[in-house]
Amino acid sequence: MPYPDRSAYPDRFYPVVDTLDWVRRLTGLGVGTVQLRAKDLNDGESLQLVSDALQIVKDTPTRLVVNDYWRAAIVAGAKHVHLGQEDLTTADVHEIRKAGLTLGLSTHDDAELDTALAAEPDYVALGPIFFTTLKSMRFAPQGIPKIAEWKKRVGNIPLVAIGGIKLEQAAEIFDAGADSIAVVSDVTQNPDPDARVKAWLEQVIETA
């Protein structure tokens, strides 16, 4: 299935996964942007993971976004990195930019948004929109109305909505102003992930 606009970054459907198998699976399904988020790896492990993931997406339309491991991303030749607020405090944004990588940042409240915008990111992620059980969150769900409010603040910077979002809520979230939806459990915990991914791709084409 052709995706409508490969120039848009990140794609409107933006799955976040934690293994090479998921990267391979989503690449095979024609997903345009995939974030690889694996935790607690040392320098050697992270470099190996990023290098292997880049091999998977090589010569495909899929763009790999490396979560957290910005040094490994630079060394391995990745083009896109995503940082959380805690990662941002220890990352060298100048080095990331010098290496030519795009930079996406997570935000959860107004103070974090201010911090993110100061770094001039290529996109800002807002979450959690809904309750999520995937990881412990010290922030309450933002809700859909927050999307419209934050889109006014970020202006032309793409806004990614994340956190507990299911396909059935996608149209409303796009209508509220989100440019992209990051999806985790609705794909990785779905009994038929391939069918769910195809449904997401159809949905974003219809709402583009």
Supply the range of the domain harboring residue 20.
Answer: 13-203
Closest to 106 (Cα-Cα) out of 89, 92, 127: 127
Beta partners for 70?
A: none
Can you give the pLDDT at residue 205?
87
In a domain, 91, yes or no: yes
Can you give the pLDDT at residue 138?
65
Can you give the pLDDT at residue 4?
42
Answer whether 207's CB lies under 8 Å from 174's CB: yes
In a domain, 6, yes or no: no
Type of residue found at 174: F
Sites in the chain below the pLDDT cut of 50: 1-4
Can you give the pLDDT at residue 160?
98
Return d(Cα 136, Cα 122) in angstroms, integer. Answer: 26
Return d(Cα 170, Cα 141) in angstroms, integer. Answer: 16
The structural domain count of the chain equals 1
- Please state, in angstroms and as integers, the Cα–Cα distance from residue 139 to each residue in 108, 110, 128, 163, following that order: 7, 12, 7, 11
In a domain, 4, yes or no: no
Can you give the pLDDT at residue 163?
94
In a domain, 19, yes or no: yes
In a domain, 2, yes or no: no
Can you give the pLDDT at residue 200?
98
In a domain, 3, yes or no: no
Our measurement of the distance from residue 122's CA atom to the centroid of its chain's CA atoms, rounded to an integer in Å, reads 12
The token duo for 184 is 């985790």
- Please state, in angstroms and as integers, the Cα–Cα distance from residue 188 to each residue in 20, 44, 85, 178, following that order: 13, 26, 24, 22
In a domain, 62, yes or no: yes
180: domain CATH number is: 3.20.20.70
Can you give the pLDDT at residue 127?
94
